[in-house]
Amino acid sequence: MSSSPNPTPNPNTQTDSDHVTYIKASCLCTSNTFLIPFITSTLPQSTALCHCSSCRHTSGQLAVHCAVAAGAPVAISESEGASVEIPGSGGGGSDTRSTYVPADLSNLSKYNATPAMTRYFCKTCGAYMLYERHPAPDPDSDVSISQSQSQWMVSTGCLERTEGIVKVGSHTFLADTKDGGLSEFYRTLNGVAIPRYAYAQGEGTGSSDATLPLHWKDPRLVRKQQCQQLEKGGSENHEDRLHLHCHCGNVKLYLTRPDQEEAKKEENLWLVPGEQLEGRKHKPARFIAGHCFCASCRLSTGSLVPSFIILPRANVFNAQSTASQPITLSPTSPTRLHNLTQYTSSPLTYREFCATCGATVFYWTKAAKGPFPRDPGSEEAVVVDLAAGLVDEGDGLTLGDSGEDDGRVMGGEGGGAGGEGRGAGGVLCERWIVWHDLMMNIGEAVDKEGARSVGEGASLAVRGQ
């Protein structure tokens, strides 16, 4: 997260009369379950949905949304299981405890994308839960009290409820996406357009407050796409590869182009056949992607809007291996992809995340579920879901470019893992992915208004609006 969500309550300026609202947060496996303190007078918060490259590649999601806590998470005592609103530091009222015990964070793994921020994800199920911004070391100035303590933020997808607590107030770091990313779908909230910032909101001076219009694309991406369309002509290019990586680089994958004949088959719902456009322009065969609002996706990612590409496993390869076979994920497979932690979220159903940086990577199942085919002779899935935020958005942009890379293209904040080879620039990867407007399990969304907005925007996008 490159930006500070607004507003930023300062726990050190609260007075005895401030009330604190505690909201329960938990991950899918529930080994991390605690209360998050919020200063009641700051609620509901209106915070940024951050699209920066660090947030996308550490979470595996298209954007990260957090609420600003008043302090570190608090342990839940045995007698209470739900969120409570109580008088704060003054004590008394309905609060029967004299002290609050800090939550045990020992089942969370830490990842430092930058020295200024520690990110915490569940060691067992991979949920991205907490962000701790460290006090800025500034030896030249008097360290004010407000800078002497960490600022804690919580992933809103882990909260028991968001209504009255936090909502999406703006899009930030859209410049990192090259094509607007999730903001192309998540356009409004309660009928009001969500502000779209190129970088941070209200940070620094001048151009840092610049906004970008709906349908904005990085000019270099537009140029690149025009070239690609001309170069490819009417033929499929089977050398095409789309690169994906987690932030730490321990998981690096590439996708190969879906087979045009397979894509033409109606039963292969997750493939879209290529088509010839006017002139020499051509659209290749592509995969579909969409958003799932089920509790399992939400709590295993920490995201309000978990987004996945649905694709044949046969098209997924380990970029760090010379093997000519696609990746395998079965726990018993000798060629299982390294560096992933596997969590069994329901019988025969698995969630896989980077063991080092916590990025969500795969969701897959061997259970009979939905329209996806099974291979009874194999322990592997035929079709897998791949976290959409891992797409290497910068890939392809710097090739043949005039060298005007602003340093954010490959990995964004803190450098990241970068990428190599060819690919489609831009987070939404239009040359590889068709974004579906079918919202999955929208009834389970914790933020129903936000989920409805994403659905509306996705429908408009599908119609080219």
Binding-site ranges for Zn ion (CB under 5 A): 27, 29, 31, 122, 124-125, 246, 248, 250, 292, 294, 297, 354, 356-357
Query: Considering the complex, what minimum distance in angstroms separates the CB of residue 29 from Zn ion?
Result: 3
Query: Considering the complex, what minimum distance in angstroms separates the CB of residue 78 from Zn ion?
Result: 20
If the CB atoms of residues 285 and 410 are measured against Zn ion, the closer one turns out to be 410
Go through 241-274 and write b for each residue having 16 or more CB atoms within 10 A of its CB, e for each that does not.
bbbbbbbbbbbbbbbbbbbeeebeeeebebbbbb
Reduce the DSSP state of residue 245 to 3 states and report it: strand
Q: Calculate the CA 211 to chain-centre distance.
A: 21
Query: Considering the complex, what minimum distance in angstroms separates the CB of residue 355 from Zn ion?
Result: 8
Query: Considering the complex, what minimum distance in angstroms separates the CB of residue 245 from Zn ion?
Result: 8
Q: Is residue 15 packed enough to be buried (19+ CB in 10 Å), middle (13-18) or exposed (0-12)?
A: exposed
Tokens of 405: 């890379």
Residue from 388, 374, 393 nearest 220 by CA:
393
194 in Cβ contact with 188 (< 8 Å): yes
If the CB atoms of residues 62 and 246 are measured against Zn ion, the closer one turns out to be 246
If the CB atoms of residues 255 and 445 are measured against Zn ion, the closer one turns out to be 445
If the CB atoms of residues 216 and 287 are measured against Zn ion, the closer one turns out to be 287
Query: Considering the complex, what minimum distance in angstroms separates the CB of residue 225 from Zn ion?
Result: 29
The residue type at 319? A
If the CB atoms of residues 380 and 385 are measured against Zn ion, the closer one turns out to be 385
Query: Considering the complex, what minimum distance in angstroms separates the CB of residue 255 from Zn ion?
Result: 18
If the CB atoms of residues 68 and 248 are measured against Zn ion, the closer one turns out to be 248
Query: Considering the complex, what minimum distance in angstroms separates the CB of residue 251 from Zn ion?
Result: 5
255: number of CA atoms within 13 Å, CB side? 28
If the CB atoms of residues 294 and 462 are measured against Zn ion, the closer one turns out to be 294
Residue from 373, 245, 256, 376 nearest 314 by CA:
256
Cα separation, 294 vs 91, whole angstroms: 38
